[in-house]
Structure 1
């Protein structure tokens, strides 16, 4: 008889674990409180603009091996835009373009070549950036950086203000969803080594070529259903039933109890305490209590649809701007995307999350008009500001000691999520890694 696994939460982590366990002979049930899957990475049809939008833009990289494995499993690997080689345009407030172009040569020489040609920095600053490359090569696992910020680490390596403002800061917001003064150098360094020093292909930018729900959610749902899985939507979990450090079932808000052999909580850290009984939180506070020490970091996405195409850049970073990245969905999406659709991103948006949507839109429009002189004559047909107040956990220095392992003190309860101990920041790859590792733990249990 098949062992039953109950998974709470249908984001990347939960879907990855479900797909892996379904294909390994387990009876899997996903319990999702909303009427759709996707967690913090989904798309929706906006009724006012009659347009499909992502709740937030996600950037993947060529080194996301686990994510590509998952997408291949569910048949969604072709739903991606993948660069031939790393190339990123950086635009300043005057609209001047500075390109980081990395040639088709082995890593890490391709990065060194790209840095030396990056004219947004002075030549001395470019050479100083190579000190970071040297540190990444020689000091591979540096646990001493766990309590250091990115800025502190860069200062030790002689990185000046220009390189921090025009490159490192922008990269920090993209990778960490936090500014370099507030983000862990240890986690940042882990990502840099994996992305830029594993292989040339590992550093390529990869983007969803379809809105997120069509990019992966629909395929994952089909795969799980075809492999005998059960997906219960609009099913709100009121709590786990735990006795003698063993889960016997989950109780839904409507009173239904769902029983299994193993249970995976794939919900965000701030939602975990809502489903763990209070007495368990107290008796195992050393494990579950750390989630109270994780803090959120917000992301704001601004979708703007113009009556014409205002740039032929596929995506680009902005220098010295509150908006860090702009994505030209009309060029990225392979079907049904209006030509003038741009998606702007403000990561680590602590200073702007309390702003009104109108003020955020006005500020974003001003940035676009300053960069592209023709934009002021283009007509804005539609706009949407989306605030994700708890988009990720904040990867502050020292945060690693607060990220729990996937094995809990409860014998048959496991955790999955990008906030668990993955060794990297809160990314799609981190969520998928946790999903696979949690599935492997269950597969090691007696069948």
Structure 2
């Protein structure tokens, strides 16, 4: 599918378009925004001028607003959050310098929790700010996630706006994910006299001697090529190679990267429950609520909200009805005036292989674009981008592969 693992479909019961999982961007997605400019679709993402995030606990709302650059932006934003004292803000002062200066190798052998412990980060800062961001960005809990990956996220989020003008807040897609890619990719490729072939899977990379000569498709057709970029999910990389070539794929790394799920619970409610596009929930199975109506209203007369559960929490094994009821219970408990809210319609999407596992110790083992073959290149969010499994990582890898093919341009 164009757009990779980002895709949408139309719900037959309501006629509304459903994304396989809501994606939120940030202004620091430099390569993603460059790609969208090439496609002519960057205007279809609405960015906050500055990073702003609200999380809700049993004690009420906790609002982070970044109004200053770099370290001051983090400190001032935390100081404005209910439940975080000035002393706790002061105790967090070493976080960004450590993210900026600590060696990646050292951080990659720690979990986020171990990193926070070593820095003395207070529990309130973790619970109300760092933990929700870590879970959303890395798709796993801080107790299991690489500190190096999260440090990369923090560096981009808090240093980007001071280096390049423009928005540095969250970005929300103004429509289904398909508005970013469908049609635009075909037009861009056609301008370069290329062809987009869809609906026919790639079976394997074809080799003549020691280099690739093309790709065999599922319908028996063979596409001849001077250069081949393998941009599939890491789990499917070995399937594209036979014999000696397959033996050269790092199967141990593929296995260790594994897969982490994301569950999206789409609800059509009988009343509005959100006044913004995104709300983090503290202490609930549902980690975030995504307010579809606040971003791109559709023709449905009901109010659409998506509950998001990230990472290997065990929820993916629950029934769809149980997941929908669980999210409804969280909404009733956490959203004022929603005590009696009911779902008119519900759809649960389970992406069982949404991302790779962000566990420590794998950062240095993720490969760059180069492969054992001189005209085959790796791309995808699992390669050596320094980032977790994100759209930005995927775009970064694509640009890196293109640079190699073009001789470093």
User: Aligned residue for 1:191?
Assistant: 153
Tell me the number of residue pairs that the alignment of Structure 1 and Structure 2 aligns: 406
Judge conservation of contact 2:61–2:82 (CA < 8 Å) in 1: no
Pair 1:158-2:120 in alignment: yes
Pair 1:374-2:313 in alignment: no
Q: Equivalent residue of 2:87, what SS?
A: helix
Pair 1:38-2:42 in alignment: no
Deviation at 1:226, TM superposition (A): 3.9
Unaligned runs of 5+ in 1: 1-35
Unaligned runs of 5+ in 2: none
Judge conservation of contact 1:291–1:403 (CA < 8 Å) in 2: no
Q: Deviations over 1:121-153 (max 9, x none)?
A: 34432322223134335x254421111100000
Deviation at 1:102, TM superposition (A): 2.0
C-alpha spacing 1:228/1:197, structure 2 compared with 1 (3 Å): same
Deviation at 1:322, TM superposition (A): 1.7
Residue number among 302, 324, 334 corresponding to 1:361 in the alignment: 324
Q: Matched residues in 1 for 2:302 and 2:47: separation?
A: 20
C-alpha spacing 1:252/1:142, structure 2 compared with 1 (3 Å): closer
Judge conservation of contact 2:69–2:158 (CA < 8 Å) in 1: no
User: Aligned residue for 1:102?
Assistant: 66
Deviation at 1:360, TM superposition (A): 0.8
Deviation at 1:418, TM superposition (A): 0.4
Q: Matched residues in 2 for 1:278 and 1:290: separation?
A: 19
User: Aligned residue for 2:182?
Assistant: 217
Deviation at 1:46, TM superposition (A): 1.4
Residue number among 73, 89, 106 corresponding to 2:38 in the alignment: 73
Residue number among 397, 400, 412 corresponding to 2:360 in the alignment: 397
Q: Matched residues in 2 for 1:241 and 1:175: separation?
A: 36
Q: Matched residues in 2 for 1:141 and 1:335: separation?
A: 47
Q: Matched residues in 2 for 1:337 and 1:420: separation?
A: 40
Judge conservation of contact 2:131–2:141 (CA < 8 Å) in 1: yes
Q: Matched residues in 2 for 1:385 and 1:335: separation?
A: 19
Residue number among 252, 274, 279 corresponding to 2:239 in the alignment: 274
Judge conservation of contact 2:50–2:167 (CA < 8 Å) in 1: no
Pair 1:413-2:376 in alignment: yes
Q: CA RMSD in A?
A: 2.1
Highest RCO, 1 vs 2 (Cα 8 Å, sep ≥ 6): 1
User: Aligned residue for 1:25?
Assistant: none
Residue number among 339, 343, 346 corresponding to 2:306 in the alignment: 343
Q: Deviations over 1:366-416 (max 9, x none)?
A: 000001242243342211111111101011000113312211111211111
User: Aligned residue for 1:207?
Assistant: 172
Q: Matched residues in 2 for 1:202 and 1:396: separation?
A: 31
C-alpha spacing 1:251/1:445, structure 2 compared with 1 (3 Å): farther
User: Aligned residue for 1:329?
Assistant: 292
Q: Matched residues in 1 for 2:299 and 2:92: separation?
A: 41
C-alpha spacing 1:87/1:307, structure 2 compared with 1 (3 Å): same
Judge conservation of contact 1:300–1:353 (CA < 8 Å) in 2: yes
User: Aligned residue for 1:136?
Assistant: 99
Q: Matched residues in 2 for 1:279 and 1:142: separation?
A: 33
Q: Matched residues in 2 for 1:339 and 1:192: separation?
A: 37
> TM-score normalised to the size of structure 2?
0.93
